[in-house]
Structure 1
Amino acid sequence: MTEDEVLAEFRASEALLEGHFKLSSGRHSAHYLQCARVLMDPMRASRLAAALAAKLPRELRSAIDTVVSPAMGGVIIGHEMGRALGKEAMFLERPDGTFGFRRGFGLKVGEKVIVVEDVVTTGLSSKEAMKAIADAGGEVLALVSIVDRSSGGVSFDVPYHSLVDINFPTYDQDDMPAALAAVPVTKPGSRK
């Protein structure tokens, strides 16, 4: 799937939004990718996950035992990645502010895991998820996401693969352009 095809999926589902958005990372942007909208169509979610799985090196695909995603954003794409890879998929939650396994989910010591996200901007949630997996005894082999919004500004201790790199500018509260600051802010993400 090409970058244009991925963006066409976002446009077709009205998931590429414009305005003033406060992202889950705390940064501000004039653009927001509402992955929940793009993933609400099961066939579209399946296509995106299959395309993302196809980007992974064969050796990595064969080494994966389990797919783990951080809730909320990664749950649907993580489930679809599990389907595409033929692996079980589970998710981490933050009932007390820190990622952990619930609902009977857990890992065996040494279990090989791929972390699946919808969007990576600062990488903070991904790193928190990887720590929770390591604390549970798992070994993270790689991180994957539909969208990389980091503009190359984030690195991980494992390989990172995304379906598309989108470089919409993001801003700290104190360095926003005046035109963006003048637009009422919306916080559409899963963390309020």
Structure 2
Amino acid sequence: MDTPRDQLLRLLVQHSFQHSAEPVFTLASGRKSRYYINCKQTTFMSEAMPLLGRLFFERIKAAEQKDDTQITAVGGLTLGADPIAYAVAYHSALQGTPIQAFSVRKEPKGHGTQKWVEGFERLGARVVIIEDVVTTGASTLKAIDGALHAGFQIVKVLALVDRQEGGREELQRKGYDLESIYTTEDLMRLVRQSGD
């Protein structure tokens, strides 16, 4: 029987992944790539949410045990991180160990309190930054910046897919380790096995 990781990988390849022999896809950075990954086509699906919640929750719990720390909340840059953070919060509540969700704005709110973060707020809270897909690491660093403005301590950066195009290395240079559930290599391996 397929594991939750296998099931989610299949959904990603089916709904979120395109590939080409030549670099024909233009990325947000302006670079061309052989791969196009739109995780939102999967992360917003009802059948993906229980799998996302479980897989990310398990990684978060492993990080807590390894570092002997408690993680209070998860979140990242809107819109990509939002469904994953909600799935984790829901799954954690079912497990009896609630982890809160938050969302980092792309720009601070232009009126009122001019907040970077919506949802959970607590100075000094230990949090995990969530990403759907990491390419250069720029959007992840923006999420980290917003979370730091909110007074959070960043314990870990956890992505659904690492495109393996320099983002991991850029985050390491800034002092953050990236862990991902999948890499582009994982997606391509399933494509090859399926004969597409």
Q: Check if 1:63 corresponds to 2:70.
A: yes
| 1:108 CA displacement | 2.1
Change (3 A) 1:16 1:92: same
What is the root-mean-square deviation in Å for CA atoms of aligned residues?
3.0
C-alpha displacement at 1:160, in angstroms?
Answer: 2.2
Deviation at residue 71 of structure 1 after TM alignment? 0.7
The TM-score normalised by the length of structure 2 is 0.71
Letter in 2 for 1:130: I
Q: Does 1:81 align with 2:88?
A: yes
> What is the TM-score of this pair, normalised by structure 1?
0.72
The residue that corresponds to 1:16 in the other structure is 17
**2:32 equivalent among 28, 32, 40:** 28
Question: What are the ranges of 5 or more consecutive residues in structure 2 without an aligned counterpart?
Answer: 93-97, 187-196
Gaps of 5+ in 1: 169-192
Q: Name the CA distance, whole Å, in 2 between partners of 1:97 and 1:31.
A: 33
Aligned residues: 166
Q: Which residue of 1 aligns with 2:105?
A: 93
Maintained 8 Å contact 1:118/1:147: yes
The structure whose RCO (Cα within 8 Å, separation 6+) is larger is 1
C-alpha distance in structure 2 between counterparts of 1:94 and 1:24, whole Å: 14
Describe the superposition over 1:91-145 as per-residue Cα deviations: whole angstroms up to 9, x where unpaired: 0112469995255x46322111111110011111111211221122110110101
One-letter amino acid matched to 1:16: F
Q: Tell me the residue number matched to 2:184.
A: 166
Kept in 2, the 8 Å contact 1:6–1:164? The answer is no
**Structure with the higher helix share, 1 or 2:** 2
Give % identity. 20
Question: Superposed, which structure 2 residues align to 1:42-191 within 5 Å?
Answer: 42-56=46-60, 57=62, 58-59=64-65, 63-85=70-92, 86-95=98-107, 101=116, 105=119, 107-151=121-165, 152-156=168-172, 157-167=175-185
Instruction: Specify the code of the residue in structure 1 equivalent to 2:179.
Output: H
